[in-house]
Amino acid sequence: MAGEAVVDEGKRLTKWLRRLRGTAEFVYIASLCGSVAMLVVAFIPRSPVVLALPTTLLTGLDRIGGVATGVVVYPMGEVVFEVTDPTLAQRMLYLATILPGLLLVADIARRLARLLKSAQDTDPFTTQTVRELTLVAKITAFGGLAVYAVGNVAMWLLASTMLDSGARVDPVQSPVGWLAVGFIFAAFAQLIARGVAMRTELDTVI
């Protein structure tokens, strides 16, 4: 009975690893296709360039129609604008606010898919799995910080081309999400490392 339980548990683990691997591969392909599409569109003249600008840098908001009496634009909010005939520089800046994040997601998903395939084919509880998952955690955290920096710089420069005052907007994105996911990956790596150590200790005792 104990042997059958172990076999059933192994089958369930293999099934979950297969599903997770399929999800990672789907995310990788989707992110890669999205990146290529964004890159191609950026070189097409008059392709959309959209950016939300803070209302604190805008004027004439009190003359906006179509709203009931007593309804005004929120003074600390944002209004989305589109450049009707963007220059190549504006299109590249807009691309820089989106493309780095997509590429990072694609790389993370690719690494996870490869890691899950290795775990599915051999043994998920190995030092190699710990190293690979720790690397993914570092790439997620530090790569997320880089994406945050590049995206905000591109947004600042793009906003300066869209405002008469040439003012740069304050950062609206946050790297917290990337750091949190990186921390989760690192935590899983440490859990697996602990499992590997316990297995080694048990083998030594036996």
User: Average pLDDT per run of 10 along the chain, which is 206 residues long?
Assistant: 52 82 96 97 94 86 84 86 94 96 97 91 86 96 96 92 80 87 95 84 69
The pTM of this model reads 0.86
* In a domain? residue 72: no
* In a domain? residue 15: yes
Per-residue model confidence (pLDDT) at position 9: 58
Per-residue model confidence (pLDDT) at position 2: 47
* In a domain? residue 120: yes
Taking Cα atoms as reference points, which of 148, 159, 195, 151 lies closest to residue 50?
159
* In a domain? residue 68: no
* In a domain? residue 61: no
Domain residues for the domain of 101 are 2-45+87-205
Residues 6+ apart with CB under 8 A from 148: 171, 173, 174, 175, 178
Per-residue model confidence (pLDDT) at position 55: 86
Per-residue model confidence (pLDDT) at position 205: 66
Q: How many domains does the chain have?
A: 1
Q: What is the SS3 assignment for the chain?
A: CHHHHHHHHHHHHHHHHHHHHHHHHHHHHHHHHHHHHHHHHHCCCCCCEEEEEEHHHCCCHHHCCCCCCCCCCCCCCEEEEEECCCCHHHHHHHHHCCHHHHHHHHHHHHHHHHHHHHHHHCCCCCHHHHHHHHHHHHHHHHHHHHHHHHHHHHHHHHHHHHCCCCCCCCCCCCCHHHHHHHHHHHHHHHHHHHHHHHHHHHHHHC
* In a domain? residue 96: yes
* In a domain? residue 182: yes
* In a domain? residue 155: yes
